[in-house]
A and B are shown apart, each in its own frame.
Chain A
Amino acid sequence: MAEDKIIKRREFIHTGVRFALGISLAGIGVAAARKTTAEKWVWQIDPAKCTQCGRCATDCVKSPSAVKCIHAYEVCGYCDLCGGYFKPGVKKMETGGENHLCPTAAIQRKFIEEPYFEYVIIEELCIGCAKCVKGCSSFGNGSLHLQIRHNLCDNCNECAIARVCPSDAISRVPASQPYIIKGDFHGGTKA
């Protein structure tokens, strides 16, 4: 009889605590639900904030980095002397390979018409080091800029580059507008 009572009491306490735990879970759920969106969030670089420090190439969990250089053709001046293509300070400016700035030769240039050139990034070679971006934004229109490529990005819970980005340029954006591309471009938000 006494044993029965103890078991009943234990069961009662168990049920009570279970309900309490259930209610607190529901409470957390409701409190957090006010901050939820149906859409998911992805990481992206704001080119306006980026200071081209080079950490995108070294700190991404992917190797090579999921950050690549994007060329916003809309903004490009199609210069002959491209600050993103040629190394600064070389003795003689020519189109020879030794003058190229990109460490992996990921930028190709094509002659269009006198005196304009089109610059194309070969994404497989780009490591996201931002050397060309620095050159382009210092001496040119800034059409070369870094973006996180979502076919490569793992969308980590906390972006390893965002954590070390000195200029807080990486933040989460809604997945429906996953790119911040310079110039008038329909695929992303205008920067």
Chain B
Amino acid sequence: MKNIGHKIVFLSFFVLILVQANAQRFPKPEFESGYEQPSPTTPEPRSNALEYLDVLILFASLSLASWLVIKRRSRRGVLWLSIFTLLYFGFYREGCICSVGSIQNITLALFDPVYKISITVLIFFLLPLVFALFFGRTFCAGACPLGAIQDILVFRPVSIPVWVRKALGFIPYLYLGLAVLYAATGTDFIICRYDPFVGFFRMDGPYTMIIIGIALLLLGLFFARPYCRVFCPYGVLLNWMSRFSKYHMTITPAECISCKLCEPSCPFDAIEIPVSEKVRTQKVLRQNLKRFSLYALLIPVWMFIGGYAVSSSHVLLSKAHQDVYLSELLIAHPELKSDTKNLDIKAFLESGKTFDELVANASLIRAKFKSGGWFLGGFLGLVIGIMIMNQFVFRTKTIYEPHKGDCFSCGRCMDYCPVVKLK
């Protein structure tokens, strides 16, 4: 009977809550039985010290990779290092923290006045680039888990025609540009969202991610390191740095004897074969110079066309932003405002923000996309312009060398060189 009485008391409280909303509806009871109130547990996040340890391990693996390919010239060593990287940064750290994704954090930190980043993120962004500036892309060889998972699955690489490679080589620039635009406008981190291998590292993930990951790994059996060569946006930056690096891995330890043995050794088609002097006639040279200058002059035109094209598609691009999407939806379908099943609309209505505020914010973001589109399009136009212009750059080559920008410094070619360094 007593119990029912209490229930009635509590039920009457339910009525009361309609009147006073936010106060503590039911006071904390005073216990007579000596009951001690427990506290909720709060497991700590991974400690800061361990984050610094990650930085240390990155530094160590970059140093070791650079030493292994340049000084020690050991492919086997690089292989073991990349397996360690795969296990540590991949499976143990579950793919997060990663230099590739850090591009977006740095971008957002530069554009968003309140967004803060941990110092470890900045170091993860800068360190591989600094190493590439001195030793080439040793990050790709031994310190990148995404590279490592693909590298150990290079089974029977096929050589890809130059024009296909050149055309596909544009995609990383596009990916980088879009990633920066989406990060700068605070819309999305697309590099992380479409990371194909993080699902394997976590042994968990949405099925699309796993399917794309498996497809890329299968493709990688023949088209070696497909993500690195066709998508990786960080690879663009590493490529720039590595082209002008102070030191770089060489195929031969001493003098190249042009024996051609290393020619098929690179699974990534990154070895440049010697070009004979004979093709370089005066006539060809003059013609090339003419074309080179013409296409150099055309670069501003590409940039303008690119800028105009991307900027005019700002409406489409900005749809990815939640506020733009929601305001567009509500303008097109005002009747949805009373739709209680749509979680986004419901939460927006409960948030107390007015519709005008939402639209104002959406148009602000859209304006950012419009101006950002000029930068992105201009950048892509510049890339295309330089790519076309470079078709007419002609350099004589007498020895076999890796292309400093495209070479991952994996060291496979070194074992093919018959030359021995005499001390």
Give A residues with C-beta under 8 Å from B: 14, 17-18, 21-22, 25, 28-29, 31-33, 35-42, 51, 53-55, 61-63, 70-81, 93, 112-116, 118, 139-141, 149-151, 153-158, 160, 163, 166-168, 175, 178-179, 181, 185, 187-188
Whether, in the assembled complex, B333 has its beta carbon less than 8 Å from a beta carbon of chain A, the answer is no
Contact in complex: A41, B118 (CB < 8 Å): yes
Q: How far is the CA of A22 from the CA of B48 in the complex (A)?
A: 29
Contact in complex: A77, B106 (CB < 8 Å): no
Contact in complex: B37, A74 (CB < 8 Å): yes
Q: How far is the CA of A38 from the CA of B120 in the complex (A)?
A: 8
Contact in complex: A157, B104 (CB < 8 Å): yes
Q: How far is the CA of A73 from the CA of B117 in the complex (A)?
A: 34
Contact in complex: B31, A166 (CB < 8 Å): no
Contact in complex: B116, A114 (CB < 8 Å): no
B113: min CB distance to chain A, Å: 9
A-B contact pairs, 25 of them (CB 8 A): A18-B245, A18-B246, A25-B129, A25-B130, A25-B133, A32-B117, A33-B119, A35-B109, A35-B117, A37-B118, A37-B119, A51-B346, A61-B205, A73-B40, A113-B35, A116-B35, A139-B17, A157-B104, A158-B192, A163-B188, A163-B322, A167-B350, A178-B42, A181-B42, A187-B39
Instruction: Write out the residue numbers on chain B whose beta carbons fall within 8 Å of the beta carbon of A70.
Output: 40
* Centre residue among B2, B118, B350 by max chain A CB count within 10 A: B118
Taking CB atoms and an 8 Å cut-off, the chain B residues in 320-368 that contact chain A are 322, 343-344, 346-348, 350-351
Whether, in the assembled complex, B240 has its beta carbon less than 8 Å from a beta carbon of chain A, the answer is yes
Known: A70-B40, A77-B26. A112 touches B33 (CB 8 A): yes
Instruction: Write out the residue numbers on chain B whose beta carbons fall within 8 Å of the beta carbon of A71.
Output: 40
B178: min CB distance to chain A, Å: 15
Taking CB atoms and an 8 Å cut-off, the chain B residues in 1-55 that contact chain A are 2-3, 6-7, 10-11, 14, 17, 24-29, 31-33, 35, 37-40, 42-46, 48, 51
Contact in complex: A79, B46 (CB < 8 Å): no
Q: How far is the CA of A118 from the CA of B38 in the complex (A)?
A: 10
Instruction: Write out the residue numbers on chain A whose beta carbons fall within 8 Å of the beta carbon of B76.
Output: none
Q: How far is the CA of A41 from the CA of B48 in the complex (A)?
A: 10
Known: A25-B129, A25-B133, A116-B31. A40 touches B11 (CB 8 A): no
Q: How far is the CA of A32 from the CA of B204 in the complex (A)?
A: 33
Q: Mark B71-93, 1 if CB is under 8 A from A, else 0.
A: 00000000000000000000000
Interface size on B, residues (CB 8 A): 74
Out of B35, B98, B122, which one reaches A112, CB within 8 Å? B35
Whether, in the assembled complex, B105 has its beta carbon less than 8 Å from a beta carbon of chain A, the answer is yes
Whether, in the assembled complex, B218 has its beta carbon less than 8 Å from a beta carbon of chain A, the answer is no
Q: How far is the CA of A14 from the CA of B245 in the complex (A)?
A: 8
Contact in complex: A157, B106 (CB < 8 Å): no
Q: How far is the CA of A132 from the CA of B39 in the complex (A)?
A: 19
Q: How far is the CA of A32 from the CA of B109 in the complex (A)?
A: 6
Contact in complex: B204, A63 (CB < 8 Å): yes
Instruction: Write out the residue numbers on chain A whose beta carbons fall within 8 Å of the beta carbon of B6.
Output: 80, 115
Q: Mark B98-142, 1 if CB is under 8 A from A, else 0.
A: 100110111001100001111111100110011001000000000
Out of A54, A79, A93, which one reaches B26, CB within 8 Å? A79
Known: A157-B192, A158-B189, A187-B42. A18 touches B133 (CB 8 A): yes
Instruction: Write out the residue numbers on chain A whose beta carbons fall within 8 Å of the beta carbon of B241.
Output: 21, 25
Out of B96, B97, B117, B126, which one reaches A25, CB within 8 Å? B126
Out of A22, A41, A42, A181, which one reaches B116, CB within 8 Å? A41
Known: A112-B35, A166-B347. A157 touches B45 (CB 8 A): no
B397: min CB distance to chain A, Å: 13
Nearest A residue to B395 via CB reads A10
Contact in complex: B44, A178 (CB < 8 Å): yes
Instruction: Write out the residue numbers on chain B whose beta carbons fall within 8 Å of the beta carbon of A14.
Output: 244
